[in-house]
């Protein structure tokens, strides 16, 4: 019997039985908190996201030297903290190969939790988010346990369930490949650490937790080994990056799951590790990219053990880069919604798209060069079948959801001036795994 199908069905029944305001069918996920308005992955950003009506708060998780999970988008710390300005940590800067790309920085796994607590968070996109940058230096780095505690406290205060939606960052690097500054293997299973914190907090209701990853191996281990051993059964979401095929075979960080490239390069038994998926995808191995994994046979194989997918909005829209020499560098909308969305919904996947952002820099243009607002774009994606969205400004997504529930055709015309838009994220295609998120 497929336990994944049973728990998604139970989740759907729960939603139907609860008041709409308590647990709406369409989920709004505060992406790194309300990260468009406060420095990302801080308790203040998460708290603001909840205040704006988000159903889930989303912490990306990386480990400390002493094995504590903390909320950072990357283990590289210089963009999101003041570590580069701290002379006492100058000797921690080093160069590491992470998911196939060399990075020179300060890394979370080379700091104890006590040391990380001395750092202060800062806005990662100050040029486009000066309002958030005004809060630089005011907030610290929370642990995953503290994020869970916030969700619990806010649920009690507001009388509605707040969920957590953690992402395991670079699980292959931390478990198999990475080394500390002193050369010792890191050897930390962040998926197991995540479950440890959830169980310790008693936060294991499958209606209030999704676990996400751009990698497949750790999700499959969670389903087959780690969750049964911990006595929990939580929905798993596979994040989908660039499906154009540009990242497969010569990994770029956003075109294929890094675990697949790593295990294939080692000559590991891919059929034993990936099961039915290895049979469903022709030539499954080092050249397999996300685009191969959204084909019908691959989706059907994934559905045996995975509950949801998290596609990049640009991929859903089949967006294309701006034409060479174009005055406006923002991407253009494609010919329509990607056909694999309908197939994913037919198979019963939850589909939570990323990332809705409200700055003009992230807007898509149509064939006539006109900007598309997030309100209209999100309404289109909702009508096409997505069941949730990650949003840097969750209040904007909540407004679209409320408009849809009331039967309004779209957002007010003056919203076009608000800057609301979906993440065009063109720079993400060349960054680390999930960088556009």
Question: What is the DSSP track for 1-45?
Answer: --HHHHHHHHHHHHHHHS-TTTS-SSEEEEETTTTTTS-SSSHHH
Res 375: pLDDT: 87
Res 29: pLDDT: 98
Radius of gyration of the chain, Cα coordinates, nearest whole angstrom: 20
Positions in the chain whose pLDDT score sits under 70: 1-24, 246-253, 408-436
Give 3-412+421-430's CATH code, choosing from 1.20.1080.10, 1.20.1050.40, 3.30.70.20, 3.20.20.190: 3.20.20.190
Whole-prediction pTM: 0.89
Strands (E), 371-433: 388-391, 421-422
Contact 24, 34 (CB under 8 A): no
Strands 350-357 and 421-422: antiparallel
Res 12: pLDDT: 46
Measure Cα distances from 380 to 126, 355, 395 in Å. 30, 15, 18
Res 8: pLDDT: 47
Burial 168-196 (b: 16+ CB within 10 A, else e): bbbbbbbbbbbbebeeeebebbbbbbbbb
Cα 221 to Cα 208: distance, rounded to the nearest angstrom = 21
Segment holding 352, helix H or strand E: strand 350-357
Res 25: pLDDT: 80
């Amino acid at each position: 019997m497929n336990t994944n199908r049973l728990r998604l069905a139970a989740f759907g029944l729960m939603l139907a039985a609860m008041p709409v305001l308590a647990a709406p069918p369409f989920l709004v996920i505060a992406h790194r908190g309300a990260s468009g308005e406060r420095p990302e992955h801080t308790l203040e950003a998460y708290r603001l996201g909840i205040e704006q009506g988000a159903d889930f708060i989303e912490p990306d998780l990386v480990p400390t030297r002493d094995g504590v999970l903390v909320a950072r988008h990357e283990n590289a710390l210089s963009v999101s903290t003041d570590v580069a300005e701290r002379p006492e940590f100058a000797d921690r800067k080093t160069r590491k190969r992470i998911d196939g790309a060399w990075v020179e920085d300060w890394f979370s796994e080379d700091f104890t939790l006590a040391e990380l607590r001395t750092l202060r968070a800062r806005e990662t996109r100050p040029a486009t988010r000066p309002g958030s940058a005004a809060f630089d230096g005011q907030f610290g780095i929370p642990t995953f346990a503290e994020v869970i505690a916030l969700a619990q406290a806010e649920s009690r205060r507001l009388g509605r369930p707040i969920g957590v939606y953690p992402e395991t960052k670079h699980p292959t690097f931390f478990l198999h490949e990475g080394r500390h500054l002193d050369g010792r293997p890191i050897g930390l299973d962040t998926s197991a650490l995540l479950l440890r914190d959830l169980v310790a907090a008693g936060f294991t209701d499958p209606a209030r937790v999704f676990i996400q990853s751009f990698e497949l191996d750790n999700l499959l281990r969670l389903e087959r080994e780690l969750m049964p051993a911990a006595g929990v059964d939580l929905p798993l979401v596979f994040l989908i990056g660039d499906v154009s095929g540009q990242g497969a075979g010569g990994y770029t960080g956003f075109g294929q799951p890094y675990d697949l490239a790593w295990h294939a390069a080692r000559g590991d038994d891919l059929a034993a590790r990936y099961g039915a998926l290895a049979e469903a995808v022709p030539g499954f191995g080092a050249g397999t990219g996300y685009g191969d994994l959204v084909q019908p046979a691959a989706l059907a194989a994934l559905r045996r053990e995975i509950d949801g997918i998290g596609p990049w909005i640009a991929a859903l829209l089949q967006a294309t880069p701006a034409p060479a020499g174009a005055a406006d560098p923002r991407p253009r909308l494609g010919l329509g919604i990607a056909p694999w969305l309908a197939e994913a919904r037919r198979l019963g996947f939850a589909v939570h798209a990323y990332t809705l952002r409200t700055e003009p820099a992230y807007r898509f243009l149509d064939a006539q060069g006109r900007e598309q607002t997030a309100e209209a774009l999100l309404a289109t994606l909702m009508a096409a079948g997505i069941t949730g969205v990650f949003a840097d400004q969750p209040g904007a997504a909540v407004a679209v959801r409320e408009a849809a529930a009331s039967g309004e055709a779209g957002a007010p015309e003056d919203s076009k001036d608000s800057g609301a838009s979906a993440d065009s994220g063109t720079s993400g295609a060349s960054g680390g795994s999930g960088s556009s998120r």
